[in-house]
Each structure stands twice: as structure tokens, then as C-alpha cells.
Amino acid sequence: MSTHHPTAVLPAQILVVDDEPDLRTLYELTLLREGYRVEAASSVSEAWEHLDAGRFDAVITDMRLPDGLGMEIIQRIQKDQRGERCVVMTAYGSAENAVEALKAGAFDYLTKPVDLKQFRAVVASAVQRQPQEAVPAPRAATNTATSESRALPPQTSLGASALERLVGESDPMRLIKSHIAKVARGMAPVLVRGESGTGKELVARAVHACSQRSDGPFVAVNCGAIPENLLEAEFFGARKGSYTGSAADRDGYFQAARGGTLFLDEIGDLPLPMQSKLLRAIQERSVRPIGSTQEDTVDVRIVSATHKDLHAEVQAGRFRQDLFYRLNVIEISVPALRDRREDLPALCNALLARIAQDGGIPVPRLTSDVVARLADHPLEGNVRELENLLHRAVALNDGDELHLDFSGPAPLEAAVPSPVAAVVAPVRERPAARPAMPSDLQSYLDQQEREVLVRALQESGFNRTAAAARLGLSLRQIRYRIARLGISTPPGDDGLVGTLDE
Ligand SMILES: Nc1ncnc2c1ncn2[C@@H]1O[C@H](COP(=O)(O)OP(=O)(O)OP(=O)(O)O)[C@@H](O)[C@H]1O
């Protein structure tokens, strides 16, 4: 099989650095068989001779070498702003080394003894070049990137528009955008931290869109919305008949995100037993669907998010330290809206434009008085609260002016019912029309839920925020349900979470 890069005339060029002759030969032969051009070195100094003489697409290096550490090669490649992507091979069980290498700028790592299937997959991913369609980098990225800018990947239009969707030109937002453009390059896990409603998911989407995986799926999972007994099947998939009601083989999120990004939202809500299983999946890069005897290799980049203080969760014994360490290789902290008030006018304009577009109405005029009143409001729910306030203001709009209504949360935000309550409520309201006893409770409940969701979506013009508010669900919960039930929404809606997106 030949794995030439589709846009390159020549196959990718790879430098292998390992002091063990047998292993070096094994790697060389494996790569040659894949169609790459390969050079090999047995030490740090020999590697530099090759690197001084030419450019490579990727460098695959062992960590321990006779005259130094593979890490030195990575660091120097970073320092010299060379384009080679580095993959480091670390001894089994030395998680620190892998994490350190990723932090130092390695593209990815492999654990020894190296599984050749994984080896081929990681190398294929490392030599894959950015989509060629380059457009000028967004202002924020160019303004703040200064010395980094040469090392930044060209922004694709997907990446640029994902960064643009992240409205805000305050210093912290600019920093975040330049950070996203930089970290998007590798495979290092990213943890996005920030209060609820600050835009963590938008950040995760931007990391995906700016990465060379942007052609692959973005699968978003709300770890807090999935019933505990379904977590394993949802994450890793299940074989037909492996548990009650599983009538066919089902892929899990890991399989669905193959070649793309798996976004684990509210990671702090994952129960401890599932944390162990997730850690294993990340370490082994493979998952075993329930009822299967076979492991599925996974090729996903993990971005997670939390509004919780995970350090404190670790201290309290509610979050595994080793998993935290694995997920938190790169941290992006999204500031609360109160710490970037200067973004308010731009955010209001962008949100009003979105609300108007969703509702098919002209964009209401934003007065400085409205912005000033919003700026005086605590906005503890951050951009999401701002969005809700503007939704209500648009609904109360009398044509000339936007009327702000700070009188309280949207009626249903206060009460978040259990998943079942939302489904059975309509049935309870009509006791006279008792339906026949269902022969398959799960499909019956799914059908009920689907009808309620579709109705709420239709009645809110397919605005999921509004539909969620009507049903007492969070946006996350409604997205999860929409994706789970495979409800399609019209183009223009910003996509289904749980399946692939954008
Ligand atoms: N910088 C921003 N520019 C434009 N819209 C934003 C921005 N930040 C957040 N939003 C909007 O605010 C809402 C909440 O954002 P998002 O879901 O990304 O927040 P979150 O931090 O992931 O929230 P949670 O912690 O509750 O999951 C979304 O509708 C999103 O589009």
C-alpha cells in the first residue's frame, strides 16, 4: 500500500531516530512499505546532521538516545521554528515523558513496544499537511502572534471562520485565538476551562477547525447528560445483543470521531468508573465495544471542557489525577464576561444578528443605552445569559427600541427536569387518552421524546436555545437529545452535536 500525500509530488520524507538497529530497521521498512522516503539516525547528533542537510515532513524519535534525549530534538525543532512534526516514542508507563513531549511541541507520541498499526496511523496523521486553501489569518491571530507567527499554520477558511465566530477583541480573547491557532497543530489533548456560558464549546470547535483534522468529524459529548448506565456503550459502542435492547451493532463516540476531534464537555461530571475506562482508552488508543472481543483502534484528538475546578475535584477524590494529567496537557482558560466587558458591544451585535437571522427578522438597532444597561448587569451566566437577555429583548421589541427585561431567568431555566420527566409530562396531562401499553418501552419513549422535541423546535423556528428553554433543558441537553434521536434540523441551524458537524 502506498501512502503518498495527495497534494505532494514526492512522498513524505521521514527521519527515524533510534539507537537500536533492529527497531530502526523495523520502522524504516514499515515506512518504506507505506511509500515514504526514509532516512535514519542513531543519536541526537546524527539526527542533527540529517536535519541540517535537509527538511523532513516528520521526525520519529526514541526518547532515550546514547548522547541525549529525543526531547532535545523536539525542543530545537521548535526553537528553530522548523516545520517538522515530531513523534516521540516513550517507554510504557512513562506518562510524564509523553505529556512533557507534547507540552514541548511534539505532534504526538507512541508508547513502546510500538504497535505497528498505531505507528502507521500516527505517522500518516503527522505527515498530513494542512489543507492548502490558505486565507489571511484573522486579525487577532496576526496581532498577537508576533514571534510565533512564522510557526503558525496557514489558516484555512474553516479555521478563520471558526475564530471569527468567537467574537471579541479584548486582550484575553486575542490571546485565546492565537493560542488556539498554535495548539491546533498537534494531537496534544486540550482542556478548556471557564465558567458556564463563556464559550468553551466555541473554543473547542475552533481548535478542531484550525487543525489538520478539520475535514474529519467534530463529535461533542456532554458527559453530564448521559445516564451512567449508558456511558460505556455511548463512548465505546456495543455489539448487537450485548445488552437489552441493542438490536444492531452500534458505534460509540470514539468510533464516530475517528480522524477528527472528540469534544468531552463537562468532563468533571464523568463518574469515577468511567474516568478509569476513558483513561485506558486514551493510553491504549483503542476501545472495546460492549460485547466485543476485539479492540477498535481509535484515532481521535481529545478536547475536553469543564466549568469545575478540576484541581479541587482531584483533591476531593472525585476526579482521577492521572486522567486530569492526561487531559490537561494544554490548557485554555476562557475568561468570564465580567473580565472582558469591552467585548460587550461586539458580542451584542453578533448575537442580535444571529437571533434576527434565526427568526427571519431585520436586525434590531442596538443603542448605547442598552449596552450600558447590560454592562451594569452582573451577567453571571456569561455570553449565554447575554444571549437569553437579547432573545427576550427581541421578543419584547416594539419596533423602535429593544426592551431589556432583567426580571428573572427564562421560566424553564430554573427547573431542569430529569430526562424521563420531560418525556412523560405530556402524557400525564391527558389522562383520558391513555395510550395502549407499549411493547417496547424504549422505542415508545424515544418516539414521545422525538415528537416533543420536533414540536418545540418547529414552534421556536428551529432555534435550539429557545426550544431548550421551553422544555426546561439546557442547550447541551437538547443538543444531546437531538443527536441521539437523529432529528435533522434545517441548514442554518448551527449543527447537531453528537454527530459530526460543520
Ligand atoms: N465569544 C463568543 N462569541 C460569540 N458567541 C459566543 C461567544 N461565547 C459564547 N457564545 C455563545 O454563547 C452560548 C454559550 O456558549 P458555549 O456553549 O460555547 O459556552 P460553554 O462555556 O461551553 O457553556 P457550558 O459551560 O454551559 O457548556 C452559545 O450560544 C455561543 O454561541
- Ligand 1 geometric centre to CA of 142 (Å): 24
> Following DSSP, what letter does each residue of 227-254 receive, concatenated?
-GGGHHHHHH-B-TTSSTT--S-B--HH
What average pLDDT score do residues 312-328 get?
A: 94
* pLDDT above 50 (res 410): no
- Counting residues of the chain whose pLDDT is more than 70, the rounded percentage is 81
Span from the CA of 352 to the centroid of ligand 1 (angstroms):
14
Q: Which atom of ligand 1 is nearest to the CA of 494?
A: 31
What is d(CA 276, CA 282) in angstroms, rounded to the nearest whole number? Answer: 10
Q: Which atom of ligand 1 is nearest to the CA of 204?
A: 18
Per-residue pLDDT, averaged over 459-480, amounts to: 82
pLDDT (0 to 100) of residue 92:
66
Quick check: 164 and 125 in contact, CB under 8 A? no
94-98, 263-267, 298-302: which range is least confident on average? 94-98
360-386: average pLDDT: 88
HSE-up of residue 163 (Cα within 13 Å, Cβ side): 29
Q: Atom of ligand 1 at shortest distance to CA of 222? A: 27
pLDDT computed for residue 478 by the predictor = 84
Does residue 113 have a cis peptide bond before it, meaning omega lies within 30 degrees of 0? yes
Tell me which residue of 330, 390, 340, 336 sits closest to 365, measured CA to CA.
Answer: 390
At residue 465 the predicted structure's pLDDT band, cuts being 50, 70 and 90, is confident
Max CA separation in the chain (angstroms): 84
Q: Of all protein residues, whose CA lies closest to atom 26 belonging to ligand 1?
A: 196
CB of residue 265 inside a 6 A radius of ligand 1: yes
DSSP 494: -
In the predicted model, is pLDDT for residue 417 greater than 60? no
Tell me if 201 CB under 6 Å of ligand 1. Answer: yes
Residue 286: name the closest of 128, 117, 98 by CA: 117
Q: What is the pLDDT of residue 491?
A: 53
Is 282 in contact with 322 (CB distance < 8 Å)? no
Residue at grid coordinates 427564562 = 410
Protein residue closest via CA to atom 28 of ligand 1 = 384
Average pLDDT over residues 221-236: 90
Of residues 485 and 70, the one with the higher pLDDT is: 70
Whole-number Å distance, alpha carbon 203 to ligand 1 midpoint, is 9
Mean local confidence (pLDDT), 451-466? 82
Count of other CB atoms within 10 angstroms of residue 6: 7
194 lines ligand 1 (CB under 6 A): yes
Residue 499 Cα to ligand 1 middle (Å): 19
In our burial notation (b when 16+ CB lie closer than 10 A, e otherwise), range 418-435 reads ebeebbeeeeeeeeeeee
The kind and range of the H/E element at 403 are none
Query: From the CA of 467, how far away is ligand 1's center (Å)?
Result: 17
- 39 C-alpha vs ligand 1 centroid, how far in Å? 47
Q: Out of 207-211, 311-315, 394-398, 466-470, which region has the weakest mean confidence (pLDDT)? A: 394-398
- Residue whose Cα lies nearest atom 29 of ligand 1: it is 384
Interface TM-score (ipTM) > 0.95: yes
The length of the chain, given as a count of residues: 502
Q: What average pLDDT does this structure show over 354-364?
A: 84
Q: Indicate if the pLDDT at residue 289 is higher than 80.
A: yes
Nearest to 15 by CA among 23, 6, 2, 27: 27
Average pLDDT, the chain: 81
Give me 306's grid cell: 469543564
> Which residues contact residue 379 at a Cβ distance below 8 angstroms, ignoring those fewer than 6 apart?
337, 338, 385, 386
Average pLDDT over residues 196-214: 94
Domains detected in the chain: 13-127 (3.40.50.2300), 134-333 (3.40.50.300), 337-396 (1.10.8), 419-484 (1.10.10)
**Per-residue pLDDT band at 477 (split at 50, 70, 90):** confident
500 or 247, which is more confident: 247
Nearest CA to ligand 1 atom 16: 199
pLDDT band for 466, please (50, 70, 90 cuts). confident
Q: What is the Cα–Cα distance from 377 to 443, expressed in whole angstroms? A: 45
pLDDT band at 408; cut points 50, 70, 90: low
Per-residue pLDDT band for 262 (boundaries 50, 70, 90) equals very high
| Res. 457: pLDDT tops 70 | yes
CB of 200 within 6 A of ligand 1: the answer is: yes
Q: Is the dihedral of CA 209, 210, 216, 217 positive or negative?
A: negative
Pocket test for ligand 1, best of 357, 384, 476 (most atoms within 8 A of CB): 384
Q: What does the pLDDT read at residue 451?
A: 83
350 lines ligand 1 (CB under 6 A): yes
State how far the Cα of 173 lies from the Cα of 171, in Å rounded to an integer.
Answer: 5
CA 158 to ligand 1 centroid distance, Å? 18
- Does residue 282's CB lie within 6 angstroms of at least one atom of ligand 1? no
CA contacts within 13 A on the Cβ side of 48: 15
Q: What is the pLDDT of residues 143-189, one digit of tens each?
A: 333 333 334 444 578 888 999 999 999 999 999 999 999 889 888 99
The answer, yes or no, to whether residue 112 has pLDDT greater than 90, is: no
CA of 130 from ligand 1 middle (Å) equals 27
Higher pLDDT, 468 or 476: 468
DSSP letter for each residue of 171-205:
HHHHHHHHHHHHHTTS---EEEE-STTSSHHHHHH
DSSP secondary structure, 96-136, as one string = HHHHHHHHTT-SEEEEESPPHHHHHHHHHHHHPPPPS-EEP
All residues at 6 or more sequence positions from 309 whose CB lies less than 8 Å from its CB, including other chains: none
Half-sphere exposure in the Cβ direction for 139 (13 Å, CA): 9
Q: For residue 76, which of 47, 96, 54 has the smallest C-alpha distance? A: 47
| Model pLDDT, residue 133 | 37
Per the model's pLDDT, the better-predicted residue between 397 and 381 turns out to be: 381
User: Ligand 1 in contact with 464 (CB < 6 A)?
Assistant: no
268 lines ligand 1 (CB under 6 A): no
pLDDT greater than 80 at residue 418: no
The protein residue whose alpha carbon is closest to atom 6 in ligand 1 is 199
| Residue 138 scores a pLDDT above 80 | no
Cβ of 202 below 6 Å from ligand 1:
yes
Q: What is the mean pLDDT of residues 380-409?
A: 79
